[in-house]
Chain A
Amino acid sequence: MAREEVESEVTGTVWKIETKVGDKVAEGDVLMIIESMKMEIPVLATDDGTIAEFQVEEAEPVAEGQVVVVLDT
């Protein structure tokens, strides 16, 4: 099993996390939503796997390139 780090493509604020640790996800699934430039920007799973860990919480600011979710793939 490999750990896949998923980064935010944008700087913004975590708006909604509608998944939880242990959820099975497929590549392209929405893991969380970042609010940036008045838009709801989804963070998408970069691979099939299971959500191992969130590194941010709702309402927390994130930077471009910051790891926000770790997947077990």
Chain B
Amino acid sequence: MAWEKSVEEIRRRREWAAAQGGARNVARQHDAGRLTVRERIVGLVDDNSFQEVGGLTGAVIYENGVAVDATPAPYVCGLANIDGRPVAVGGEDFTVRGGTTASLDKRKGGQGGFSEDLAYEYKIPLVNLIDGAGGSVTSSKRRGHAVFPGIDSFDRSVELLAEVPVVSAVLGSAAGGPAGRAILSHWSVMVEKTSQVFAAGPPVVHRSLGQEITKEDLGGVPVAVGAAGTIDNAAPDEATCFAMIRRYLSYMPQNVHELPPRHTTGDAADRIEEKLLNIVPEERRRPYNMRQIIELIFDQGSAFEIQPDYGKALITSLARLDGHVVGVVANNPMVYGGAMDVGESNKQCHFIELCDTFHIPLIFLVDVPGFMVGEQAERAGVLRAGMRAVYVASQASVPVVTVVIRKCYGMAGMATCHQAGLNLRLAWPSAEWGSLPVEGGVAVAYRREIEQAADPKAREAELEAELREYGSPFRTAEAFGVEDIIDPRETRAYLCRFINAAQGRLKTDQGLKPRAGVRP
């Protein structure tokens, strides 16, 4: 019974840790509609799977050499399981000094530190539960000097992006370091109304620019997820947020040195889907519901959309084909006819690199009229952003299958296939393509001829009709300029066949994906 007293001391100190920042601060956190970091971890991970590390950290009050009470360090971290697989998890404890950084010998996590090192060394995913405002000027006073930026470096956070899945959930108002940490993730999520994210919060904005603005207007979901695409997805509440994190990780391997797990749902690989035949209207000006096409082709209920509220002319979804994880990149004709603007390009680039890094084959469902046109798009840099999408698609080395649903035009069209590889392109009978659309293209190429015609309008229509005839996908298929034209109902069966066949090759690709060169 030699160590009984010390063991009892461990138990007592763990109780202090469990009390977090005290009943009053915990109540305040709940009143704000937020859970505490410990409740969050319980809500996120498998039952009883959290093994805390560093639970004894904090500021302890001693009386006559005996510890009588403690304020725990404002960060909780450790090892846990999600769906039976180990993950590193960590989060700020907002009930302790607002989740600011602790002065420990070693960081627990958040921006470097134990949880990040654990994920890196053990090659397991990392989940950051972010609820802190980052550094405080008061630390200068404590240290006696101002710290140079980078004392808590992002280097480990950057290294992790090449090795293991990194997920960040923004669960409070995040500015500075914690906000930056959320961006250095493969996927990020925040909660409607109770979380905001920005480079700097309202007081700094007011002091710098004289602008009066609320936290929500500066960095709430409508701004961060909708307008800016800073954070990928929004959840209506914290419980849904944790379910989304678990869902996201279900598509991911534990690290880049293995393949994503296969989960079959019983959906037959050769399912023929009658509804696909009539989805695309014959009238070319009419759009249709691309999300419905995704639902019908991929394993039932398997589509998990990434960044649904940003760059809305493009849809990016993780999904499964016969249980194998695939990345779906689909143009959305309901928004600007599916044209690629800056947001769409940013979204496509990130998603393709994500899939490429984790050896997830890509399926493009193409209906793109080209890059977005007009003054606004040019001022926003559509050409550079669009060519970046071409560059990133060209660098990807996972198998790619392209299905042309309707339009595939110009340079934006080049970002939808893998010319450097096998370049398997399948077309539906509704497909059409070219360097540029016949409308407008004719007016430029035949300008003189049209101007000199007796009836310029009629001549233009005549030329358009003549050129449109060459636009038949069958003519291109005759020349093997597209690999196949398929019955839309057979799309799933065709894709499943090839994705199954690619599995052996994917095994040979495991490991890091170095990317040389300079993105435009």
Residues on A facing B (Cβ under 8 Å): 9-10, 36-42
Indicate whether B335 reaches chain A with its CB closer than 8 angstroms.
Answer: yes
Question: Could you jot down 10 A-B contacts, CB within 8 Å?
Answer: A9-B335, A10-B336, A36-B336, A39-B285, A39-B336, A40-B285, A40-B286, A41-B336, A41-B337, A42-B334
Indicate whether B99 reaches chain A with its CB closer than 8 angstroms.
Answer: no
A49–B246 alpha-carbon span in the complex (Å): 36
Residues of chain A with a CB closer than 8 A to B369's CB: 37-38
Indicate whether B439 reaches chain A with its CB closer than 8 angstroms.
Answer: yes
Q: Give the Cβ gap from B459 to chain A, nearest Cβ, in Å.
A: 20
A41–B333 alpha-carbon span in the complex (Å): 8
Residues of chain A with a CB closer than 8 A to B336's CB: 10, 36-37, 39, 41
Q: Give the Cβ gap from B197 to chain A, nearest Cβ, in Å.
A: 21
A39–B286 alpha-carbon span in the complex (Å): 6
Residues of chain A with a CB closer than 8 A to B333's CB: 39
Indicate whether B13 reaches chain A with its CB closer than 8 angstroms.
Answer: no
Residues on B facing A (Cβ under 8 Å): 285-287, 312, 333-337, 339, 369, 373, 437, 439
Cβ B312 vs Cβ A36 within 8 A = no
A40–B283 alpha-carbon span in the complex (Å): 10
Least CB separation from B287: chain A residue:
A39
Least CB separation from B281: chain A residue:
A40
Which one of A10, A38, A41, A42 contacts B439 once the chains associate, using CB atoms below 8 Å? Answer: A38
Residues of chain A with a CB closer than 8 A to B334's CB: 9, 41-42
Cβ A9 vs Cβ B287 within 8 A = no
Q: Give the Cβ gap from B148 to chain A, nearest Cβ, in Å.
A: 42
A10–B332 alpha-carbon span in the complex (Å): 12
A40–B285 alpha-carbon span in the complex (Å): 6
Closest 5 CB pairs of A and B: A37-B337, A39-B337, A37-B336, A40-B285, A9-B335
Q: Give the Cβ gap from B438 to chain A, nearest Cβ, in Å.
A: 11
Q: Give the Cβ gap from A18 to chain B, nearest Cβ, in Å.
A: 14
Least CB separation from B373: chain A residue:
A37
Cβ B287 vs Cβ A42 within 8 A = yes
Q: Give the Cβ gap from B220 to chain A, nearest Cβ, in Å.
A: 16
A10–B377 alpha-carbon span in the complex (Å): 13
A37–B439 alpha-carbon span in the complex (Å): 11
Least CB separation from B370: chain A residue:
A37
Least CB separation from B335: chain A residue:
A9
A3–B335 alpha-carbon span in the complex (Å): 25
Q: Give the Cβ gap from A36 to chain B, nearest Cβ, in Å.
A: 6
Residues of chain A with a CB closer than 8 A to B287's CB: 39-42
A60–B488 alpha-carbon span in the complex (Å): 38
Extra contacts besides A38-B285, A39-B287, A42-B287 (10): CB < 8 Å: A9-B335, A37-B369, A38-B369, A38-B439, A39-B286, A39-B333, A39-B337, A40-B285, A41-B334, A41-B336
Residues of chain A with a CB closer than 8 A to B335's CB: 9-10, 41
A37–B374 alpha-carbon span in the complex (Å): 10
Residues of chain B with a CB closer than 8 A to A36's CB: 336-337
